[in-house]
A and B are shown apart, each in its own frame.
Chain A
Amino acid sequence: MKSMFIRSAAALAVATAFALPATVLAATPKDTLVVTWAIDDIITMDPAEAFEISAGEVMGNSYDRLLRYDVNDPSKLVADVATKWSVSADGKTYTFELRPGVKFASGNALSAEDVVYSLQRAVILDKTPAFILTQFGLTKDNVKDKIKQTGPLTLTMETDQSYAPTFVYNCLTANIASIVDKKLLMSKEASGDMGYGWLKTNYAGSGPMKLREWRANEVIALERNDNYYGEKSKLARVIYRHVKEAATQRLMLEKGDADIARNLQPQDLEALASNKDIKTTATPKGTVWYFSLNQKNPILAKPEVREAFKWLIDYDAIGATMIKNIGIVHQNFLPVGLLGASTDKPYKLDVDKAKALLAKAGYPNGFKITMDMRTTQPIQGMTEAFQQTAKRAGIDIEILPGDGKQTLTKYRARQHDIYIGAWGADYWDPHTNADTFARNPSNADDAKSKPLAWRNAWDIPEMTKKADAAVLERDANKRRVMYTELQAEHRRVGPFVMIGQQIETAAIRSDIQGFKIGPTSDATYMFKVTK
């Protein structure tokens, strides 16, 4: 009798537990924003080296630069530390005039000397993102002559060719052009490393927020910089907590232990749609998803086979399920938002057309081929969907699953047949993607530069010339047309099957105002958030 009572009481307790809404709401401190995010990609906090997504956001919030792009209209430039900028008549000398009275978080004054030092330092250290600056012909040996201080608040920069000014300015909005505190870094210098060893885990900037702490795979803490020249951050603190698991992020957000969740899956976002305490915000990012066909494989090198693949993807189904809320179907190498990006979508699933093309290429019954896939969503879902549709044209795809770094290693060595990947814009200018998708200066195995076109052994001297011309076109409208044409040709003949463009969606608690995800990671501004 008694035990039966206990048993039914326990059953009742469990049942009510699931039925009742959460009663006790945890809350984060009023002046602190808590963000759950996978931040295990960060390897450094030095803007001369940081090139990872989450590091980019920290840099964008904590370092000033000469210029920024307008987050509401990314094709427009806005002043940051530079108040005036201009280019000489021959298009090779750029002049910048700085805002007076700017101070670093350390209290040191920010002058043209710091800006010159920062840009030179990035070129001399020559870490991964340095190519954004060195592509203007800057090298370790000449940078001290090419970037010069001309007054306390003025400086000039010389480029080797007369590039499109938009291209040069756009590149200067990137993290690599962040301004670092020369005096502070010099005091931390060890054996002439320009403070590189120290800055990996420290901070020397002047931005709206300052970096208090980065504990790898655990937490990033940003604090308001009271020395900031502009409007000060409303929040005293922003804490990024490393939470890898999407379901855990969702629980913490629902419970109020987090204000913003950054890595939710489509099904989490769907479930949260009915929760009135939580809203979502989304922005198209500069990242595109694509399949690529290695031209070293004689089957894939046939133009008809390349085209057939483009008709074998169920774009609508992918858009409606796998990338719902996190992406849109997009068939061009330039993501929407960049100058000249095309939104044309000529391809759809058409098995008969694909079959006819395959027959023309000499494979009426299809063929067998491998595809390297990173075991992560939505990559996995898209690959499996493609495997199904390709089968209908007789193409038998053997999926080789692997970890991200593993498939990438193989891809970089040109050992794949088909690869599925994502590519994000490195800086906010169309050349960033044209440079990799539509340029291949040398297809040799030991080429100096190894863009995506090289990785797929696509030898395109003509298209490379067209891409080179586009980056030198100083008339913005003409430049736009050149990119539109480049995309059309690329879409038709390229070994890349462009599938979609990423949309980054975050779920936020409804008491948070002013949070907007930027098109690039360095333009998600936490200092504009209130709660």
Chain B
Amino acid sequence: MVQSLPAKSGGARFVGALKSGVNFLGVILLTYLGLLAVTFFIGRVMPIDPVLAIVGDRAPEHVVQRVREELGLNKPLYTQFYIYLKKIATGDFGTSVLTSNPVMTDIKRTFPATIELATLGIIIGAGLGIPLGVWAAVRRGGMVDQIVRVMGLIGYSVPIFWLGLMGLVLFYAKLGWIAGPGRIDVSYEYSVTLVSGFLLLDTARQGQWDAFRNVLSHLILPAGLLGYFSLAYISRMTRSFMLNELAQEYVIAARAKGLSETRIIWRHALRNAMVPLVTVVALSYAGLLEGSVLTETVFAWPGLGLYITNSLQNADMNAVLGGTIVVGSIFIGLNLLSDLLYKLLDPRTRIR
């Protein structure tokens, strides 16, 4: 065999890698900067006086003025933004005026609640949604296809808020199968030591199986609901990707070769459909991680979505910006992850 291309020298390869690394970092930095700038300026032009959240409606005028100065709100916007960026560079995200805690402390507390919920939700959504979508595509027009279609339609059109309340009425209030709103019963509230903030992990590690079951029973309905909503989306997308693949010539070739139908569907067609599907699942997951405000409201779930929304309504900008950075990081991170998975799944995109 003759090598068609001369091998690159070690040095050139290193420079190339460095270049793409720097490029990549530059893009990420710019993304963050844009994200922060937009959030910051939207926050500042919002017709809500941030001082109001701190001092309340009753504060005498001199207190209002003093706090305005303390917050630097009388400085020009660009100066305020510059000061904020400088602080962030040193890792100081500021203090939330609503909770009196450093913003990152709040996020460390609320984010695990959301991650726990979202992860279970996406496992349910993708775990059921992909097989259902495949099935619907294979038996196009059949019973399963119709059911998936109706489920998708309901998932899109029924407000999660209503479905959540109905779920609570049925499974919690009437049947008593599951525990109610919140993450854990009051009786366990102070017996579990929070280490990671993930109650399932913490209770399991401490061997408190009663509490573990309680946490799971609190989690199952909201996670099931989020799962259902992502299932509705994922199964529809899977179906259309699969239909596309099944019409390809390689499938006909495989059939002609006499491969079993199971093998054609699951090994060949699905593997190809998997490439775009990874993005769909990753973005659904990111959407759930951002925090489903309505679900969190109905289930009194102390998560990130509720935290950011509440902060936004009170113009608590440090908290909103901190939350935005976290949500932004999730999207950037999951996009990167799906890019990596592309490379794993699609041999054409692998760098030789």
Please list the residues of chain A having a beta carbon within 8 angstroms of any beta carbon in chain B: 14, 17-18, 20, 22-26, 28-29, 32, 34, 36, 40, 43-44, 51-52, 126-131, 200-201, 215-219, 221, 239, 241-245, 247-248, 251-252, 254-255, 257, 402-406, 408-410, 412, 426, 447-450
Cα–Cα distance between A253 and B99 once the two chains are bound (Å): 27
A257 to B172 alpha-carbon distance, docked (Å): 11
Shortest distance from the beta carbon of B193 to any chain A beta carbon, whole Å: 13
Q: Are B173 and A244 touching (Cβ within 8 A)?
A: no
- Chain A residues whose CB sits within 8 angstroms of the CB of B52 once the complex forms: 405, 408-409, 412
The distance in angstroms between the C-alpha atoms of A221 and B191, with both chains bound, is 14
Total number of A-B contacts with CB less than 8 angstroms? 145
Specify which of A128, A130, A239 is in contact with B189 (CB 8 Å cutoff).
Answer: A239
Question: Is B74 among interface residues, defined by CB-CB distance under 8 A?
Answer: no
B314 touches A405 (CB 8 A): yes
Q: Which residues 40-81 of B sit at the A interface, judged by CB distance below 8 A?
A: 46-49, 52-63
Among the listed stretches B144-152, B179-187, B257-265, B275-283, which one makes contact with chain A, having 4 or more residues with CB under 8 Å of it? B179-187
The segment from B4-12, B13-21, B126-134, B292-300 that touches chain A is B292-300
A218 touches B58 (CB 8 A): no
Shortest Cβ distance from B174 into A: residue: A17
- Residue of chain B at shortest CB distance from A213: B190
Cβ B168 vs Cβ A248 within 8 A: yes
> 0/1 per residue, B309-344, Cβ < 8 Å to A?
010011100000000000000000000000000000
Q: Given A24-B176, A245-B297, do A52 and B181 touch, yes or no (CB 8 Å)?
A: no
Cβ-defined partner of A52 (8 Å) among B56, B62, B169, B307: B56
With both beta carbons as reference points, the residue of chain A lying nearest to B176 in the complex is identified as A24
Q: Is B302 an interface residue (CB 8 A)?
A: yes
Q: With a CB–CB cut-off of 8 A, which chain B residues contact A22?
A: 173-174, 176
Q: Are B298 and A43 in contact (CB under 8 A)?
A: no
Beyond A24-B176, A217-B310, A243-B300, whether A128 also contacts B63 by CB under 8 A is yes
How far does the alpha carbon of A449 sit from the alpha carbon of B65 in the complex, in Å?
A: 12
Query: Among A14, A248, A402, which residue has its beta carbon within 8 angstroms of that of B299?
Result: A248
The docked-state distance in angstroms from the alpha carbon of A272 to that of B160 is: 25
Contacts of A216 in B (CB 8 A): 96, 98-101, 106
Decide if B170 is an interface residue (CB 8 Å cutoff).
yes
Q: How far is A22 from B172 in the complex, measured between Cα atoms in Å? A: 9
Are B182 and A412 in contact (CB-based, < 8 A)? no
CB distance from A252 to the nearest CB of B (A): 5
> Are the CB atoms of B190 and A412 closer together than 8 Å?
no
Q: What distance in Å separates the Cβ of B296 from its nearest Cβ neighbour in chain A?
A: 9
30 contacts between A and B (CB under 8 A): A29-B187, A32-B186, A44-B100, A51-B58, A127-B55, A127-B63, A128-B58, A128-B59, A128-B63, A129-B58, A215-B109, A217-B307, A217-B310, A221-B189, A241-B182, A242-B300, A243-B300, A245-B297, A245-B300, A251-B173, A257-B179, A257-B186, A405-B48, A405-B313, A406-B47, A408-B49, A410-B47, A412-B49, A412-B52, A412-B57
Q: What distance in Å separates the Cβ of B315 from its nearest Cβ neighbour in chain A?
A: 6
Q: A17 and B310: CB pair below 8 A?
A: no
Report the bound CA distance from A23 to B176 in whole Å: 7
Asked whether B252 is an interface residue with its Cβ less than 8 Å from the other chain, the reply is no
B246 neighbours in A (Cβ, 8 Å): none
- Known contacts A43-B98, A405-B315, then 19 further A-B pairs from the complex at CB < 8 Å, ordered by chain A residue: A14-B170, A22-B173, A26-B180, A32-B186, A34-B186, A51-B58, A128-B60, A216-B98, A218-B302, A241-B182, A242-B302, A243-B182, A254-B173, A255-B176, A408-B57, A409-B47, A409-B48, A426-B58, A447-B61
